Structure 1
Amino acid sequence: MFDVAAATFAWLVTGPHPVCVDGTAIPGLPARPVPLDELGALLLATGCTQATRDATWTYLITRARAEGGTWTMACVGLAMPVLLPVAAQLTHRFRGDRHDIHAAVLTGFLHGLGEAALDRPAILVRLRWAAYRAGYTALREALDAPAPVEDTEFRSTPSHRPGGHPDLVLVTAVRAGVITTDEAALISATRFGDLSLTEAAHARGEHYRTTQQARRRAEQRLARYLTEPANDTDDASAPAPDTGGRGYLRGSGHPVVRLSPTHRLRLRGVTRVSPELAKKFVRPMSPHGPKSGVSARGTRLPARPRRGHSPGPAGHPAPAQEARSCD
């Protein structure tokens, strides 16, 4: 897909009469006809200002909307330094067919040519963002699609689902309704890609602080989704022990010791990071444990019923007996 576009652009700038832009109509360019390949080098130069880039893309998009054909391919060719990194990022670890995602990136860019507002700054950044979102949507659909299985008599094992992609977690979160597709694309482009948050804010038509807060809220929801237990099936689905309503296991005399889900989560995390620090965590302890210190003390048995027992000296009831130590 991109090979064909690059070959077409090369054909536009080859020969004695290459396609040129009118430099006098664009501030910052030489006042003469400027071939497209020279124009691309000028736009990539570090001395080129953002005003010159926006004026150039306004000129190119205006002619592409009016004439199409040659000028549309000119826009695609001049945007190659932006579109190729986007396509490479989205398909970096994708195991399936990459052509559909590349086609989606190019389609998103072409759609942006017809929809981009030319009176706003950072035109190329917004076109790049449109291409990225289209490619990301195609990637998400490809990751969600079932693995194809050919109905032939002799075939190998079905191919594995695409895995190991850095955006796979974001795709799962989108499918679970934790974040939206735009939020996932924003996180992916600004965290894993080379798009800065300032450029993303320009492309979204928002202030920097608004985009920053939108990404922060999405990342907070994503972090809670990834760190909190999905459900406590180990404890909630298990039948509760028969305690007889007293907090003790019936027939054993031992109290039931339960850990809350929060305590278990913290304890697992601290134990994994620092076993020494885990020893300082307060654990619910049974009074019958070897380190509780309770079993070494005597316990008072309840007094026996009065009937059938002789009173103590001077008519007082017999004193309660002290049980022997458990040791």
Structure 2
Amino acid sequence: MRTNLAPTSLQAIEQSFAKLTSPPAPLSLDGCCIGFGMPERAIPLDELRVMLLKRRTSWHAVDAVWTELVRRAQDEGEPWVTAAIGMMMPALKKVAGDVARDFRGDIADFDSNIVEGFLYALKTVDPRTPRVYSRLRSMAQRYGMDARLDADRDRAQSTEYDDSLSTRYRPSVEGHPDLVLARAVRDHGLTDDEAGLIVRACLEGEGTSSLAEERGVSPYQFRRQLARAEARLKVFLSGSVPLPVA
């Protein structure tokens, strides 16, 4: 349980985001500039955040929104930095929940590390990079998982291994699946991208079609990429020589 009752970084940022998007002048993006079927009007960011979570919103629209958010955060700073973190908040909360699962200590540092990872990516990523949303989310997750690994190491604590992954891979491996993937990336058994594929397709249950569209490949090509990532993870867990990256 968390021993500090002060708001965590994520809670404080969500409060700031709520203020930025409150009437009478909510921070907005112009749907005409975004395109890809978005409403042709100024869209308050809290409303836009909900739109991006809907399955019918294409990944082209998601990429266009995040390209603009990253560009503004890099060129103009605040309030767009806070706005970008607020827009990513649903994903960051999911990452935070995964990182803190089964942890019996203070989780406030995990939130701070997740935000730090996101901010590092926000500062350094090229806004024109395809799938910029995924790159931002992946870096936040990596920082959070690194913090969890450090905390577990300090406490000499192992977390319960999730049955959904242990039945697919090696039952004798200890740790939450996200932590196992973080170790695989750290020890060069997987790339960040491969770990992200496994998390989103196998653990979070995202659909093949939407993930393939986001990556700009066919569903068949995506399934081959996922199979390759899973094969490399199995090799890592078996202790064999890692397969080369495709």
Aligned to 1:168, the other structure's residue is in SS state coil
- In the alignment, is residue 215 of structure 1 matched against residue 215 of structure 2? no
| Map 1:70-89 → 2, pairs under 5 A | 70-89=79-98
- In the alignment, is residue 13 of structure 1 matched against residue 28 of structure 2? no
The equivalent of 1:193 in structure 2 is 203
- In the alignment, is residue 162 of structure 1 matched against residue 169 of structure 2? no
Q: Are residues 211 and 172 of structure 1, via their aligned partners in 2, closer, same or farther at CA, if it must alter by over 3 Å?
A: closer
Larger helix proportion of the pair: 2
Q: Which runs of 5+ in 2 are unaligned?
A: 1-8, 162-173, 216-220, 241-246
Deviation of the 1:224 alpha carbon: 4.8
Deviation of the 1:188 alpha carbon: 7.2
Deviation of the 1:180 alpha carbon: 6.3
2:120 and 2:28 mapped to 1: Cα distance?
24
- In the alignment, is residue 37 of structure 1 matched against residue 46 of structure 2? yes
2:146 and 2:138 mapped to 1: Cα distance?
12
TM-score, length-scaled by structure 2: 0.70
Percent of aligned pairs with the same residue?
A: 30
2:188 and 2:63 mapped to 1: Cα distance?
36
The question of whether the paired residues in 2 share the 8 Å contact of 1:108 and 1:135 is answered with: yes
The question of whether the paired residues in 2 share the 8 Å contact of 1:183 and 1:215 is answered with: no
1:56 and 1:23 mapped to 2: Cα distance?
9
The equivalent of 1:233 in structure 2 is none
CA deviation vs aligned residue, 1:192-226 (integer Å, no higher than 9, x gap):
731759659x78xxx7445532431231231358x
The question of whether the paired residues in 1 share the 8 Å contact of 2:118 and 2:139 is answered with: yes
Kindly tell me the number of residue pairs found equivalent between the two proteins: 209
The question of whether the paired residues in 2 share the 8 Å contact of 1:89 and 1:193 is answered with: no
Q: Are residues 143 and 95 of structure 1, via their aligned partners in 2, closer, same or farther at CA, if it must alter by over 3 Å?
A: same
The question of whether the paired residues in 1 share the 8 Å contact of 2:195 and 2:229 is answered with: no
Aligned to 1:95, the other structure's residue is in SS state coil
Q: Counterpart amino acid of 2:15?
A: A
The equivalent of 1:116 in structure 2 is 125
Q: Which range moves more in the overlay, 97-106 or 65-74? A: 97-106
TM-score, length-scaled by structure 1: 0.54
Deviation of the 1:61 alpha carbon: 1.0
The question of whether the paired residues in 1 share the 8 Å contact of 2:28 and 2:42 is answered with: yes
Greater relative contact order: 1 or 2 (C-alpha under 8 angstroms, separation 6 or more)? 2
Deviation of the 1:16 alpha carbon: 1.1
